[in-house]
Amino acid sequence: MTREQMSNADAAWLHMDRPTNLMVITSVMWFDEPIDRAALTAVVRERLAGRYERFRQRIVESHVPLRTPHWEDDPDFDLERHVHHLALPAPGGDAELQELVSDLMATPLDRSKPLWDLYVVDGYRDGSALVSRMHHCIADGIALARVMLSLADEQRDTGIALAAPTGDGHRGLAQELMHQARAAAGSATHAAGALGHEGVELVTSPRSELAHLASEAARDARALTKILLTPADAETVFKGRMGVPRRAAWSGELDLDEVKAIGHASGATVNDVLVTALTGSLRDYLRRRASLVDTVRAFVPFNLRPLDQPLPSTLGNAFGLVFLTLPVGIASTRERLDSVKSEMDAIKRSAEGPVAFGILGVMGLTPPEVEKIAIDVFAAKASMVVTNVPGPRQPLYVAGTPLRGVLVWAPMSGSVAMSVSILSYDGRVTVGLMSDAGLVPDPERIVHGIERELRRLHRLYLPREAVAA
């Protein structure tokens, strides 16, 4: 039986699990046609369980101090224990799917078997949906998004895998934040900028470049100081005692070209525009609940794995985090966009990502009681996780079925009560929220607010088009 000791970072994510915050990465794909179950199972068997050994392995805890758990082959591995079939109640719309996803988000994974599950959901409109749940100890969300989209093809009836396209000016949020860091390091690597068979990123920072960054002791010291000395985030309705139930909600399809046009007209990036819309919606939500403050802080995942290479069969976690301050206290939409852009520009050369990854590795070696304290202190520094992923620009097919839309949520560690997923695909953008049901019982209000704020930005920066419409 194959056994392999777990890395420190993977062990840290395994031990972060709490009933009120499961370290599980959840994704949902939806289709306008029913998906063929037999074809899907065959694809999952070949491209997921067959290609990546972690999906066939269970975890065995170590009883030796300062020793991480180990992976071992599951002697009872059976794909049928991981691929489940569910049906939505009538009328089978977004509300019913969102309620199902919310319930699954709060359900622990069975630790007696490999830590992942897929749910084929029938009865969603005229088609179906596919919900995946994979534990963070298997891999980070960027890697798992690559894994999930490796199930997709460019054509309905062939096995042609999606190749990573070149960038088109739409960088992921953290990718934008670290763009100048890569330039300063003299990297010649071109970011893939796509969620697909060959890659997905929030930020690309190849190891050769990270070595360069790591050699800059002063920068690392500043990053470490910032991470350690950043105070707890402001007390708002996003902070408080958490419960087990979750709420999930997502937007309708937003026009990516329109977002790009707003960015071009305002001298901002796509990410500046989307984060400004999020910030404006959060401002309105906090104001309505009498909890408005000047700023709230978000964690943004930062990829540390080169995307021009295949994922290792052992997967694993290779990412850090950067802090992003959202100026919710600014009333003016124009000034809010200027502030968001300025904040992003100010942290583009940050080394926080690699340093945060190093801190996580140290946490993985500590006793669970010590790790819990450290995670609580670190998680208190932000109120949410925000991921913005530029996905494939062309339509894809999963098991021969056209993929209509997709979202991937990062889990929320410690006391963080909300995860925001922004994902573009085939010329459209979808924004999804996962929240603690007690603290943020109505995430759809924030989602609708983002749509409203984008319309406001449109009227502000594209007034002629707004009048014509």
CATH T-level assignment (fold) for domain 3-468: Chloramphenicol Acetyltransferase (3.30.559)
**Nearest-angstrom CA–CA distance, 94 and 9:** 36
pTM (two decimals): 0.81
User: Within 10 Å of residue 71's Cβ, how many Cβ atoms?
Assistant: 22
pLDDT value at position 465?
66
Residue 16: predicted pLDDT: 82
Residue 56 CA to chain centroid, in angstroms?
24
**pLDDT given at position 62:** 73
108 C-beta neighbours (distance < 10 Å), count? 14
Which residue type, as a one-letter code, is found at position 8?
A: N
Token look-up 């003016």 returns: 332
Instruction: Give yes or no for a contact between 198 and 162, defined as CB atoms under 8 angstroms apart.
Output: yes
CA distance 434 to 409: 7
Query: Token match 């989307």: residue?
Result: 274
Which residue positions in the chain have pLDDT lower than 50?
A: 158, 160-169, 173-210, 212-220, 353, 357, 362-365, 467-469
Identify the pLDDT of residue 190. Answer: 27
What is residue 174's predicted lDDT score, i.e. its pLDDT? 46
Residue (of 15, 14, 1) closest to 372 by Cα position: 15
Per-domain residue ranges for the chain?
A: 3-468
Chain centroid, CA 171 distance in Å: 15
pLDDT digits (tens, 9 = 90+) for 150-167: 888 888 764 544 434 444
Tell me which amino acid residue 61 is: E
Rounded Cα distance between 54 and 116, Å, is: 10
The four Cα atoms 410, 412, 418, 423 give a dihedral, to 10 degrees, of -10
Whether the Cβ atoms of residue 269 and residue 442 lie closer than 8 Å to each other:
no
CA end-to-end distance (rounded Å), the chain:
65
CA distance 335 to 345: 15
Contact 270, 48 (CB under 8 A): no
